[in-house]
């Protein structure tokens, strides 16, 4: 059924249909609408979850971990400082191989205090062992949330999944949403190492120097195996519901000489910039990175690359640009734009391509080259 919904409502709707047994959350702007909506589903009887209103995000993730280890489906949502407050526990969730699903509404980190979109919050979680997907429309927020449960709980993966949506520009954007009946698209959760009172086991025990690396490798092995699971899940989703997704969303890339790469809503607005550039005779295409972990194999042979980073690693560079440079062994034009909700239009995006200086870094809005 088609309706108008915000990105936050779309996530909550998908969660309702995925029926997690436990939802443990703490509100934080701009994610609060997800918490409120799920709380409303639970109190009105539309969702039979145990809703745990915890006192902090650290506790939210800890409660999800405790619930998940019993083998039940779990969900939480957060943003910015909330995500960073969870950090110890996000590592634990991945290390304990728990398929927790979390929506993170991307928001800048203070100080200075800021509630608007930026990706640095989620990218500070990139080495935790969580799968990360970045969405760009209300429909995609819904679709990706449904798929996240199936991917996380797949026994070849058993890693937590984070769905990322841009604060306000997507979380509060009202767009058409077509909901589906997921049916058996998300099979029942089966955690092979769930607590079983008939077979007592210890959890979180000491792993010595002869064992620890094996557990680390096991996370990486599953992360690599998740590529196939993501592909299969997206294919099955397209077959059942008619909407297809890839690791990246490519727009007019095939015959392009220069590719504009971004994540989130900039990656969608980039398509408008590409149409502008094409009219000017510039053979440009855009690539929206959807899955950041596992990071996709990119085919950029023979093309110039402009990367938009809505994030930064101080003393090094744009985080997405680093990933692309490391993988493709090439120089890019690295643009830092949109931090803390900085307004960036499709004209600006087109301008980044027009004025590209491969090998250099440019901070949008900062005078001159830095």
Q: Which residues bind another protein (CB under 8 A)?
A: 2-4, 30, 115-116, 166, 168-170, 172-176, 265-266, 268-269, 271-272, 343-346
Whether the bond into 30 is cis, omega within 30 of 0: yes
Question: CB 2 → another protein: shortest distance, Å?
Answer: 6
Least separation in angstroms between CB 87 and another protein: 26
**By C-beta, is 100 or 170 nearer to another protein?**
170
- Contact of 145 with 67, CB cutoff 8 Å: no
Question: What are the residues whose beta carbons fall under 8 Å from the beta carbon of 39, sequence distance 6 or more?
Answer: 51, 53
Q: Is the peptide bond before 111 cis (omega within 30 degrees of 0)?
A: yes
Closer Cβ to another protein, 16 or 107, answer by number: 107
Rounded to a whole number of angstroms, the minimum distance from the CB of residue 172 to another protein is: 6
Measured from the CB of residue 310, what is the shortest distance to another protein in angstroms?
12
Dist CA 62 CA 157 (whole Å): 21
Please identify, using beta-carbon distances, which residue of 272 and 325 lies nearer to another protein: 272
Nearer to another protein, 30 or 99 (CB): 30
Residue 100 token pair: 């927790």
Q: Is 204 left (phi over 0), alpha (psi -120 to 50) or beta?
A: left
User: At closest approach, how far in Å is the CB of 174 from another protein?
Assistant: 4
Taking CA atoms, 317 is separated from 17, 101, 290, 309, 329, in Å, by: 40, 29, 20, 9, 16
Q: State which residue, 2 or 214, has the beta carbon closest to another protein.
A: 2
Distance CA 354, CA 125 (A): 33
**CB of residue 104 vs another protein: minimum separation in angstroms?**
18
* Closer CB to another protein, 109 or 227, in the complex: 109
265-279 vs 346-354: helix axis angle to the nearest 10?
Answer: 60
């Amino acid at each position: 059924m088609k309706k108008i919904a915000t990105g936050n409502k779309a996530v909550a709707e998908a969660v309702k249909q995925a029926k997690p047994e436990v939802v443990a959350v703490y509100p934080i702007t701009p994610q609060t609408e997800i918490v409120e909506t799920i709380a409303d589903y639970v109190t009105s009887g539309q969702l039979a979850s145990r809703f745990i209103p915890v006192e902090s995000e650290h506790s939210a993730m800890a409660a999800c971990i405790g619930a998940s280890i019993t083998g039940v489906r779990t969900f939480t949502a957060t943003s910015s400082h909330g995500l960073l407050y969870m950090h110890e526990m996000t590592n634990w969730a991945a290390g304990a191989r728990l398929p927790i699903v979390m929506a993170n509404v991307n928001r800048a980190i203070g100080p200075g205090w800021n509630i608007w979109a930026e990706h640095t919050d989620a990218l500070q979680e990139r080495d935790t062992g969580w799968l990360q997907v970045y969405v760009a429309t209300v429909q995609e927020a819904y679709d990706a949330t449904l798929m996240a449960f199936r991917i996380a709980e797949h026994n070849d993966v058993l890693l937590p999944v984070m769905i990322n949506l841009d604060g306000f520009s997507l979380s509060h954007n009202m767009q058409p949403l077509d909901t589906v009946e997921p049916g058996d698209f998300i099979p029942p959760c089966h955690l092979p190492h769930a607590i079983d009172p008939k077979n007592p086991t210890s959890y979180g025990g000491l792993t010595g120097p002869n064992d620890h690396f094996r557990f680390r490798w096991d996370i990486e092995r599953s992360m690599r195996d998740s590529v196939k699971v993501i592909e299969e899940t997206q294919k099955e989703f397209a077959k059942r519901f008619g909407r297809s997704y890839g690791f990246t969303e490519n727009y007019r890339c095939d015959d392009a000489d220069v590719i504009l790469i971004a994540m989130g809503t900039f990656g969608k607005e980039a398509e408008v910039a590409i149409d502008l550039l094409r009219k000017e005779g510039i053979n440009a295409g855009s690539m929206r990175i959807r899955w950041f972990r596992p990071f996709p194999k990119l085919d950029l042979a023979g093309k110039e690359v402009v990367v938009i980073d809505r994030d930064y690693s101080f003393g090094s560079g744009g985080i997405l640009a680093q990933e692309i440079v490391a993988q493709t062994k090439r120089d890019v034009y690295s643009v830092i734009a949109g931090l803390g909700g900085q307004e960036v239009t499709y004209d600006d995006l087109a301008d980044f391509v027009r004025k590209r200086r491969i090998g250099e870094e440019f901070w949008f809005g900062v005078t001159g080259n830095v």
